[in-house]
Amino acid sequence: MRFFIVDDDPAVRSMLTQIIEDADLGEVCGEAEDGSMIDGDYLEWKRIDILLIDLLMPKRDGIETIRTLQSFSGKIVMISQIESKEMIAEAYSLGIEYYVTKPINRLEIISVLQKVCERLLLQQSIEDIQRSLRVLSVAPGRKRAVNTESGIRSAAKFLLTELGMISESGSKDLLAVIDYLQLWERAHEGSGHFPSLKEMFSSVAAAKLNTTDDVQIQKEVKATEQRVRRAIDQALTHIASLGLADYGNPKFENYATTFFDFTEVRKRMMEMESSEQAVISTARINTKKFLLVLFMEAKRYSEM
């Protein structure tokens, strides 16, 4: 990945450059000390994938700079010591991916940039698949089906990244279920229903272990259920946090009511706002709904 850093503090620019290079995230292809020194065309000419930008700068601040970057197709991460909810909400409304507060925490920066890199790669993969599907719109049926299935899995990865859960171990189980549902739907075309959760997890577990031993399969099913629930719980927390920062955040609006019951999202938001953290969350997770929505949304994305 190609990075560009805009910050009026040379020490911060140096620190971010070192973190990016030490973590092997990509290369820093340029830097500037003020937002007035860059524009969208310049960043596109430099082929920048990810822009890291400070909020407070002497001539043109981060917010004003982002407003001028209409032609920039990359991702933006804002880094600032300002923790105002209003400023953070405005930054998200302008399309930034993450808002990181100073002082800079090395592990947090690496985690955030890894997620943005993964999202970019998946987005590029989705776009490549969509282009291929348009070109192959009159291709033989079997070849089209194979490409669509590949597209569904890639689209599912993109959605898991959008939901902030791609790094969870349960995301691999979710992708395995997506693969299973593709095969199941093709074998039961026109049936109008989907298999039960037990059937999904049992089939995935049997394929993973390559065994018919019921004891081993049931043990793996329980482990899979736990991993999947933890991953979905992480997605719920991620979406709730977006809503807390900005109720009008596009991702919050798109996903809060699609993948979850909104009452459960509100419960998680209230728990996160509470000064007393709940030991056991009262927000409920509907695993089957999440799985089926993920499958249907991934299909929709792959057919665009």
Contact present, 53 and 6 (Cβ < 8 Å): yes
Contact status, residue 5 vs residue 31, Cβ threshold 8 Å: yes
CATH 3.40.50.2300: does it fit domain 2-114?
Answer: yes
Burial tier of 43 (Cβ tally within 10 Å: 0-12, 13-18, 19+): buried
As a whole-number percent, the residues of the chain with pLDDT over 70 amount to: 88
Q: What is the pTM of this model?
A: 0.54
Looking at the predicted structure, is the pLDDT value of residue 138 above 70? no
Structure tokens given for 203: 């089939």
pLDDT tens digits, 44-56: 888 899 999 998 8
Query: Which amino acid is it at 128?
Result: D
With 80 as the cut, is the pLDDT of residue 146 above it?
no
CA angle (182 as vertex; 186, 117 as ends), nearest 5? 155
Supply the pLDDT for residue 130: 57
Q: Which two tokens stand for residue 122?
A: 């998946």
Please tell me the predicted confidence (pLDDT) of residue 174.
93
Please report which confidence band the pLDDT of residue 294 belongs to, taking 50, 70 and 90 as the band edges.
Answer: very high
Residue ranges per structural domain of the chain? 2-114, 136-302
